[in-house]
Amino acid sequence: MNIFEIAQLISSVLFILALRGLSSASTAIRGNQYGIAGMALIAIAHFAMSSFNLSASTYTISAILIAGTIGYIIAKKINMTALPQLVAAFHSLIGLAAVFIACAIFSSPEMFDIITTEDMMPILNSVELSLGTAIGAITFTGSIVAFAKLSGLIKGTHRFKHQNKINLLIGILILFSTLMFVNIQDIASLGAIILLSFALGYFMIMPIGGADMPVVVSMLNSYSGWAAAGIGFTLDNNVLIIVGALVGTSGAILSDIMCKAMNRSLISVIFGNGSKEQVSQKKEEKGNVKVCAPEDAGFILRNSESVIIVPGYGMAVAQAQHTLKELADILKSNGTTVRYAIHPVAGRMPGHMNVLLAEANIPYEDVFELDEINHDFGATDAVIVVGANDITNPAAKNDPTSPIYGMPILDVEKAKVVLFIKRSLASGYAGIDNSLFYQANTMMVLGDAKKVVENIVKEIS
């Protein structure tokens, strides 16, 4: 075993430790540090073991420095509200990188130590190359569409006639092109794989509704991992294989967990049949909306023994997490029990709310998942809902015509008082009205979440 292979082994272990660390908010920083160390080690080992070529090394180092600088600037300036679309954009780059690497391998296999016979790669290498290319291309266009949807550049769903049949036809054509490439290995069949996969990625993600976008982000994360693993097999790069498999498997598991949290099947989400963004046909009297001032909300909270805070995308938009912590600290000092309830698909990506709360240094022991806290709402004096619309909508339980019907929600309506902080009575990301607004125990506190909470803090203080 040479030095490079030892470095690969150590890096692989570090990446495994990184994934383990990222599984908990309390160890996430350490997990990131393991991942950075693993990447740095394998990069240094690569330069140390490769035949030194001044021109090639200059290009490589320049690319790393330029890309690293761009990534650093983006990471420093990005708002937490834009984090989901940033993740989608990064996934697209991984997919595109897989396509570019595949094209480079095809054009010059000898540069990647692939032995050819009569200008033909071994069959196994061509199969690996085809799979990596197809998955990478699907990931690229799918992630671009996800980015556009999350950024608001594409609004709503875009279903088209016979969409699943068209997707199936494109899939069959990709398979046929793959078989052609394996047997002939010409530029036409490789180009067909790339173009058809680009099209499939686009058509797969366009019909998916807003309520399912957190699952889409997780799913695309899985695709990017499998694309990396496929190219890793072609390059005989153990680190790329291991990292790709880790990302692909963890993304698939997370997607399945989130689908169960939404009472959907992964297949229905993938094929755009998960959430139908339609208006509910259920006819019922909505009732009146009770609107209260922050001062009234402060009075209610000051006289509450138990409070549960439910964060949503509205909190992210207003950057209200720090102010919420201040409110929670004041309530705790008065003897009030304060906890946070997190829905698995709150926000626009997996763990979105957890990241925001961790940023505000909210204690991990105060944060509870849906299954852990849902049964406690009935015994809670007051619930503060901060822009969490669809995940608190009772229509998911009592309106069979609703597009979110069957999705487990936080049972906030069972609390004695629900203080719903929101800019307006507009619908949530799923595009439907929230019947919680009209319940007798709900009081709407309209306005920017951060400003509203600041006023509540002043009242309680």
Cite the active site residues.
390
Residues 300/239, Cβ–Cβ less than 8 Å: no
| Token pair listed for 261 | 């949290």
User: For residue 169, how far is the Cα from the chain centroid?
Assistant: 28
**Parallel, antiparallel, or unpaired: how do β-strands 306-311 and 382-386 relate?**
parallel
Distance CA 194, CA 186 (A): 13
Report the first-to-last Cα separation within the chain, whole angstroms: 66
Backbone φ, ψ for residue 318 (5° rounding):
-85, -10
Strand partners, 368: 341
